[in-house]
Amino acid sequence: MPVGAFPRVDGALHAEGVPLGVIAAAVGTPCYVYSANSIRARYQQLAQAFASVPHRIHFAMKANSSLAILRLLHELGAGVDIVSGGELYRAHEAGFAGVDVVFSGVGKTAREIDAALDARVQLINIESEAELVTVAALARRRGVVAPVALRINPEVTVDTPHAYIKTGEKGQKFGIPRDDVERIGALIHELPNVALRGLGMHLGSQIANADPMREALPRLLQAIAVMRAQGHELQCMDVGGGLAVPYAPGDPEADVDEYARLVRDAVSASGLSLVLEPGRFIVAESGVLLTEVLYRKHAAGKDFVVTDAAMNDLMRPALYQAYHGIVPINITEGTVIADVVGPVCESGDFYAKQRELPDVQAGALLAVLTTGAYGYTMASNYNSRTRPAEVLVDADRFAVITERERYEDLVRLERAHLQWRTA
Ligand code: LLP
């Protein structure tokens, strides 16, 4: 965790200079809390690692798309990597211009492609021949030339902690199979409304080991050579995101220096500029989820800690059996081995199983760690639970950046009295 993001001062956990207990009292729980300086530090760490080559960090905003976080990254000079029309809308609201945007994703709709063309995004990452043809047709209708990159599937084996976050292996839905790149490159010459500006890849998420990148980069360079031989004037290569952060004690940390060295060498060899799409690395360790213990319970020989946060607020444990550290806000004597569970009516609604924890009682506040990425963005309203608030801390100040949803918000788009239509 970046130094100083969540320090313990006189026994009380803080976010930078603000006691988390103060935030919980002011805003309520559950509530995500982010450290602005931690996000800045992570961004700068990457920017420095790549300072010697032309590059741009396009934050993968699926990891955290709150407007204030996006605005903070915009101020630092980041661009964004988007995967939907909704993300394009958010990016625009946060101040990003079209040139700041690369558009990824395996199933872009015509409406989304039109919006991206209107916004003059810098790059549309193409994932299939059919998508290429669609982009060409929509660009033609608008009388524009769409700048595209081909996302190739480098077909390398990736060791991610969960199968759901692998993407760069053979047989996945992502990217263009290596064998098809040459044919699709030739096809682009027949489509005057698309210009091939780059080649890209994304190997997967939560990758701590540099080997997959070491294996994939030559394949990307080879595809770049093939495209150049076809006469395409490339400008950039995109290596995607995927840098790992540690969640559990003993988890390996991505070796940023080694990763950067490999990528910088490839960028220099290519003579292109570099696009990076990190999400998790920038924000994961910069956020915690604050929750209050509602009850302690003992059943069938087991101890349970029931919290007011649930799987709808943070999906990762239920969806990926992901580990998140859980610590009390105030130092607590004694320990207990317990399941930490939420109020949702599903046995998958747990944050930890048989975890040794401080012996916290009802009313205690807990911080669920490393939840700045894929936390709030994956939250839902399941069980008609309102999504939590989000708070940004900057040194000794804090601000609510997303209000807690209200019950009215839950039914805002619904109609109980129907206006029937007939065919
Ligand atoms: N670029 C592309 C094309 C991606 O698909 C992704 C993530 C990224 C960049 C950013 O990857 P990152 O640097 O954050 O690893 N919900 C899962 C993670 C899914 C990642 C999907 N793609 C989780 O909570 O672990």
Of 210, 204, 155, 211, nearest to 181 by C-alpha is: 155
CATH of the domain at 293: 2.40.37.10
Domain of 152: which CATH number? 3.20.20.10
- Cα-to-centroid distance, 412 and ligand 1 (Å): 30
Residue 322 lies in a domain: yes
Three-state SS for 270?
Answer: helix
What's the DSSP call for residue 24?
A: H
Ligand 1 pocket check: which of 256, 280, 374 to mutate, most ligand atoms within 8 Å of Cβ? 280
Tell me which residues have their CB closer than 6 angstroms to ligand 1.
Answer: 60, 63, 81, 104, 165, 167, 202, 205-206, 240-243, 277-281, 316, 320, 373-374
Same domain, 272 and 292: no
- Three-state secondary-structure class, residue 237: strand
Residues 251, 224, single domain; the answer is: yes
In the reported structure, the alpha carbon of residue 192 is separated from the centroid of ligand 1 by a whole-number distance in angstroms of 32
**335 and 267 inside one domain:** no
pLDDT value for 173: 76
Given 230, 256, 278, the domain boundary residue is 278
Q: Do both 69 and 20 map to the same domain?
A: no
Global confidence as pTM: 0.97
In a domain, 56, yes or no: no
**Measured between alpha carbons, how far is 58 from 383 in angstroms, rounded to an integer?**
35
Same domain, 143 and 246: yes
The protein residue whose alpha carbon is closest to atom 22 in ligand 1 is: 205
Helix (H) or strand (E) segment spanning residue 408: helix 407-411
The tokens describing 260, both together, are 């950067």
Which atom, in ligand 1's list, is nearest to the CA of 167?
A: 5
Is residue 308 domain-resident?
A: yes
pLDDT on residue 165 = 64
Strands 365-368 and 326-328: antiparallel
- What is the position in ligand 1's atom list of the atom closest to the CA of 63? 14
The answer to whether residues 265 and 291 belong to one domain is no
**Together in a domain, 179 and 288:** no
On whether residue 117 sits in a domain, the answer given is yes
347 is a domain residue? yes
Please identify, by atom number, the ligand 1 atom nearest to the C-alpha of residue 279.
14
The reply to whether 173 and 207 lie within a common domain is: yes
Among 255, 278, 301, residue at a domain's last position: 278
Q: Are 234 and 198 in contact (CB under 8 A)?
A: yes
- Note the pLDDT of residue 166: 67
Q: Which among 8, 1, 2 has a CA at the least distance from the CA of 329?
A: 8
> Do residues 137 and 264 both lie within one domain?
yes
DSSP state of 385: P
Give yes or no: residues 248 and 224 share one domain: yes
- pLDDT number for residue 48: 98
Number of domains composing the chain? 2
| Residues of the domain holding 308 | 8-34+284-410
Evaluate whether residue 55 is within a structural domain. Answer: no
Assess whether 233 and 271 both reside in one domain.
yes
* Residue of 61, 62, 259, 376 with the most ligand 1 atoms within 8 Å of its CB, for mutation: 62
Q: What is the pLDDT along the chain (423 residues), one digit of tens a residue?
A: 555 799 999 999 999 999 999 999 999 999 999 999 999 999 999 999 999 999 999 999 999 999 999 999 999 999 999 999 999 999 999 999 999 999 999 999 999 999 999 999 999 999 999 999 999 999 999 999 999 999 999 989 787 777 776 666 677 778 899 899 999 999 999 999 999 999 999 999 999 999 999 999 999 999 999 999 999 999 999 999 999 999 999 999 999 999 999 999 999 999 999 999 999 999 999 999 999 999 999 999 999 999 999 999 999 999 999 999 999 999 999 999 999 999 999 999 999 999 999 999 999 999 999 999 999 999 999 999 999 999 999 999 999 999 999 999 999 999 999 999 999
Peptide bond into 2 cis (omega under 30): no
In a domain, 58, yes or no: no
Domain boundary, last residue among 228, 263, 278:
278
260 and 125 co-located in one domain: yes
Q: Is 417 part of a structural domain of the chain?
A: no
